Amino acid sequence: VPEHAELAWILGCLTNVPRLLRLPQWKMKRASQNNEGTVGLLTYPVLQAADILLYKSTHVPVGEDQVLHLELAQDIAQLFNKKYREFFPVPKAILSTTKKIKSLRDPTVKMSKSDPQKLATVNIVDSPDEIVLKFRKAVTDFTSEVTYDPDGRPGVSNLVSIHAAVTGLSIKEVLHQSAGLDTAHYKMVVAESVIKKFAPIREEIKKLQEDKSHLIKVLEDGAEKAKELAVPIYQEIRQLVGFQ
């Protein structure tokens, strides 16, 4: 749907560079790439804003780490509305009850697909053995009791958060169930809960991957539906900014 990229250019002309440079994701990724951050990496949050605003979205489900990017989309919407006319709704965040999931190897940073440490991130398609290994190697501390203290005990607290997320239990309920367990045994409890949660999803992914024609059809149908929504809105935007 090329209207996404075209709108991103328009919105980019309303966005100042210092604002983008302040975003933490840019700072982190640029630092990890030896100061070789690209223009595309810098302006990606503007493309995210275009993804949202092109459909006049009012509410957006986001993770905690994306809240600042959504705030950028809100600011861009308001800038556009002020410069032209009231056109975009200012989208609100829908945050899940689960906070940011942290790396299993460094519980001070978020879990990331791009983490070079393979044991740091649990993938949905991981085998049960791989999941068990990752949780067995998860960084905790020298206290064996299972408690929830994100500042004082980030490693164990991260396991508790993951356990609560995959079971649907509250932190308090997880701690109650885990009373009397040491962290070594608790890691395996969390691993089994994750395996149970991911098993049907992993099987569905495997089944879908074996039917490429179906996946292509889903993508094509989705693109067509998106284009039906996007094109008339983008045409209005073109008229507002003077492209036609």
Taking only the tens place, the pLDDT of each residue in 149-184 is 999 999 999 999 999 999 999 999 999 999 999 999
Q: Hey, is 165 helix, strand or coil?
A: helix
Catalytic residue among 29, 56, 99, 227: 29
Residue in 45, 51, 36, 47 with CA at minimum distance from that of residue 71: 45
Question: Do 10 and 52 belong to one domain?
Answer: yes
Residues listed for the chain: 244
Question: Do 91 and 31 belong to one domain?
Answer: yes
Average of per-residue pLDDT across 15-22:
94
* pLDDT beyond 90 at 64: no
Question: Do 105 and 217 belong to one domain?
Answer: yes
* pLDDT beyond 70 at 33: no
Q: Note whether 133 and 123 are within 8 A (CB).
A: no
Domain contains 241: no
Q: Note whether 151 and 178 are within 8 A (CB).
A: no
Question: Do 81 and 119 belong to one domain?
Answer: no
Q: How high is the pLDDT of residue 114?
A: 82
Domain contains 235: no
Question: Do 7 and 59 belong to one domain?
Answer: yes
Domain region containing 108: 101-222
N- to C-terminal Cα separation, the chain: 20
Q: How high is the pLDDT of residue 99?
A: 66
Average of per-residue pLDDT across 24-32:
79
Query: Can you give the CATH number for the domain in which 65 is found?
Result: 3.40.50.620
Q: How high is the pLDDT of residue 96?
A: 77
Q: Return mean pLDDT, the chain.
A: 94
Question: Do 54 and 70 belong to one domain?
Answer: yes
* pLDDT beyond 80 at 98: no
Burial of 194 (0-12, 13-18, 19+ CB in 10 A): buried
Catalytic residue among 56, 110, 197, 227: 110
Domain count, the chain: 2
Domain contains 202: yes
Question: Do 90 and 145 belong to one domain?
Answer: no
* pLDDT beyond 90 at 27: no
Q: Identify whether 212 is a catalytic site residue.
A: no
Q: How high is the pLDDT of residue 155?
A: 97
Domain contains 15: yes
Question: Do 109 and 216 belong to one domain?
Answer: yes
Q: Please state the separation of Cα 143 from the chain's center in Å.
A: 31
Question: Do 89 and 13 belong to one domain?
Answer: yes
Taking only the tens place, the pLDDT of each residue in 116-133 is 899 999 999 999 999 999
Question: Do 107 and 213 belong to one domain?
Answer: yes
Average of per-residue pLDDT across 58-73:
92
